[in-house]
A and B are shown apart, each in its own frame.
Chain A
Amino acid sequence: EDKVVQSPLSLVVHEGDTVTLNCSYEVTNFRSLLWYKQEKKAPTFLFMLTSSGIEKKSGRLSSILDKKELFSILNITATQTGDSAIYLCAVSRLSDKLVFGAGTILRVKS
């Protein structure tokens, strides 16, 4: 059975800390891995990763994929209270719907 496992399930840090969120997967016919940020309502797209070892960056956020070890990490440096959200990892398979992990709840305290 295909599955996506995120860790930790929740995390509390102070502003300025660096955090690393993990996502491991076991899926057939892997195509890409996606990260979403969900603050109050609609998840918003962060990254799509298809190739191993190529880091994607957007401001203080970065992510990388390891297709050999079947995992991805999402790094957030110099965290701010606005980073508080649920971070969702999802894997897309060839010609099929996304499989989502349970999410990591991040809370950044000021």
Chain B
Amino acid sequence: DGGITQSPKYLFRKEGQNVTLSCEQNLNHDAMYWYRQDPGQGLRLIYYSQIVNDFQKGDIAEGYSVSREKKESFPLTVTSAQKNPTAFYLCASSVAPNYGYTFGSGTRLTVV
């Protein structure tokens, strides 16, 4: 079945550590996105990529980094520079930037 897989589902990190969240899709979608969702809030865009080897900052990119070396994969690294990293992170993909998104099941990151 085609879809998006995010891993891990839950992640705990100590302050000062970098952590990488995985996002893999087998939908052959060109565009991929990372969103952050805080309790009671909507989705805020961190980074997005419309094509392999290219990506753009979203609205809250500070403290995050991404890579897009393969069409199927768009990993997100939460660095120690991110001051409030505890959140729910959603990855999405779409055939093209202006089409509806397919979402992964998310990763809940907790900094302890």
Partner-B contacts on A (CB < 8 A): 6, 9-10, 31-32, 34, 36, 41-45, 48, 88, 90, 92-98, 100-103, 105
Residues A100 and B97 in contact in the complex (CB < 8 Å), given A42-B90, A42-B103: no
Given known A-B contacts A97-B48, A102-B41, A105-B40, A43 and B103 have beta carbons under 8 A apart: yes
- Asked whether B43 is an interface residue with its Cβ less than 8 Å from the other chain, the reply is yes
For the complex of A and B, list the 9 residue pairs with the smallest distance between their C-beta atoms, beginning with the closest.
Answer: A102-B42, A42-B103, A41-B105, A103-B42, A100-B43, A92-B98, A41-B106, A42-B105, A100-B42
Closest to A105 in B: B40
B residues contacting A by CB (< 8 A) are 31, 33, 35, 40-43, 45, 48, 90, 97-106
Count A-B pairs with CB separation below 8 Å: 53
- Our pick among A34, A88, A92, A96 for the contact of B42 (Cβ within 8 Å) is A88
Q: Please give the distance in Å from A96's CB to the nearest CB on chain B.
A: 6
CA distance A96 to B101 in the complex (A): 12
CA distance A102 to B103 in the complex (A): 17
Asked if B106 and A97 sit within 8 Å, CB to CB, the answer is no
Q: Which of A31, A45, A98, A102 has the most CB of B within 10 A?
A: A98
Q: Which residue of A lies closest to B43 (CB)?
A: A100
Give A105 to B105 CA distance when docked, in angstroms.
19
A47–chain B nearest beta-carbon distance, Å: 10
A97 touches B97 (CB 8 A): yes
Among the interface residues B42, B97, B98, which one has the most CB atoms of the partner chain A within 10 A?
Answer: B42
Beyond the given A42-B105, A43-B103, A95-B97, please list 10 additional residue pairs across the A-B interface where CB-CB is below 8 A: A34-B100, A42-B106, A43-B101, A88-B42, A97-B31, A100-B43, A100-B45, A101-B42, A103-B42, A105-B40
Please name all residues of chain B whose beta carbon is closer than 8 Å to the beta carbon of A10 when the two chains form the complex: 40
* Between-chain CB contacts (< 8 Å), 7 pairs: A45-B100, A88-B42, A88-B43, A95-B97, A100-B45, A102-B41, A103-B43
